Amino acid sequence: MKIAIASGKGGTGKTTVAVNFALSIENVQLFDCDVEEPNCHLFLGFNLEKVEDINILTPVVDKTKCDFCGNCSEFCQFNAIAVLPDDVLVFPALCHGCGGCVMVCPKDAIVYENRSIGIIEKSKGGNIEFYRGVLNIGEAMASPVIKALKKHVDESKTAIFDAPPGTACPVISSVQGADYCILVTESTPFGFHDLLLALDVLRKLEIPFGIIINRCDIGDDRVEKYCDTERIPVLMKIPHDRKIARLYSEGIPFVNRIPEWKVKFVQLLNKIQAQI
């Protein structure tokens, strides 16, 4: 089973839930899909090893063949190629590697070369097989790294995807194909607003979902009232607890020091299995 953990806004506790959930169940893989700023490893203490480079195809123009017709520039929806009267400019960071410019070139003047945009790393400890993607600094496209990361899913295990914040392409790449998505939120005006955005995404993708309310005793009850009205399951509530906060600040998963929470996360898995 593949379970994504997402949220409309950053800082709601997605990684806290993902790491503690993974540490509480057996036969599990944990994937840090927040490739622009992965941080699950900070709580696991594993030694990471490189698995592979992630490359995308980038066009290279042979100007001795090019007649500067402009077909490639007109075709590219991402403005990765600009054709001047006697020159062609390629902007690799904008290229999505679709191959269209090669197809429309009448002079076969364009070829592709691989360009590294990130890496996949892995490690293993205890009951967890851990993978993370790391996007190279300055790169704009996280989705190719996330898609490559998810190819390491073992279908015989429970896979947990710690998604990036927001509702943009990296989030969609992270949750797509999941059997279930947990949305972690907080009952504040900002948290509720972004929760609604994330819910819209999951409804369009037709992925079953439930809610975890983190720091449930701050803010107001608007999230619970909305979930009750819309019949959205509230799977778990995590209190605004000083001990949990202190352990987090020390990089210690709270299930390692408060064992009764392991039971709660096992119950969480049972709830999800029953729902789907």
Report the candidate in 4, 21, 27 with the shortest Cα–Cα distance to residue 156: 27
Average pLDDT, the chain: 95
Alpha-carbon Rg of the chain, whole angstroms?
22
Per residue in 65-117, pLDDT tens?
Answer: 999 999 999 999 999 999 999 999 999 989 988 899 999 999 999 999 999 99
CA dihedral 140→145→194→262, nearest 10 degrees, is: -150
Q: Give me the mean pLDDT over the 26-37 stretch.
A: 97
pTM above 0.85, yes or no: yes
What pLDDT is attached to residue 126? 87
Cβ(218)–Cβ(239) below 8 Å: no
What pLDDT is attached to residue 219? 86
Cβ(7)–Cβ(164) below 8 Å: no
Q: Give me the mean pLDDT over the 4-20 stretch.
A: 95
What pLDDT is attached to residue 93? 87
- Architecture of the domain spanning 2-54+117-275: 3-Layer(aba) Sandwich (3.40)
Q: Where are the domains of the chain?
A: 2-54+117-275, 63-108
Per residue in 152-182, pLDDT tens?
Answer: 999 999 999 999 999 999 999 999 999 999 9
Q: Give the DSSP letter string of 178-214.
A: -SEEEEEE-SSHHHHHHHHHHHHHHHHHT--EEEEEE
Q: Is residue 123's pLDDT more than 90? A: yes
Q: How many CB atoms lie within 10 A of CB 26?
A: 10
Give 97's Cβ-side CA count (13 Å radius).
Answer: 15
pLDDT band (50, 70, 90) for residue 8: confident
Q: Is residue 44's pLDDT more than 90? A: yes
What pLDDT is attached to residue 145? 97
Q: Is residue 253's pLDDT more than 90? A: yes
Q: Is residue 258's pLDDT more than 90? A: yes
Q: Give me the mean pLDDT over the 28-52 stretch.
A: 96
Q: Give me the mean pLDDT over the 121-148 stretch.
A: 95
Give 276's Cβ-side CA count (13 Å radius).
Answer: 18
What pLDDT is attached to residue 140? 87
Phi, psi values for residue 64, rounded to 5° = -75, -20
User: Which top CATH class is 63-108?
Assistant: alpha beta
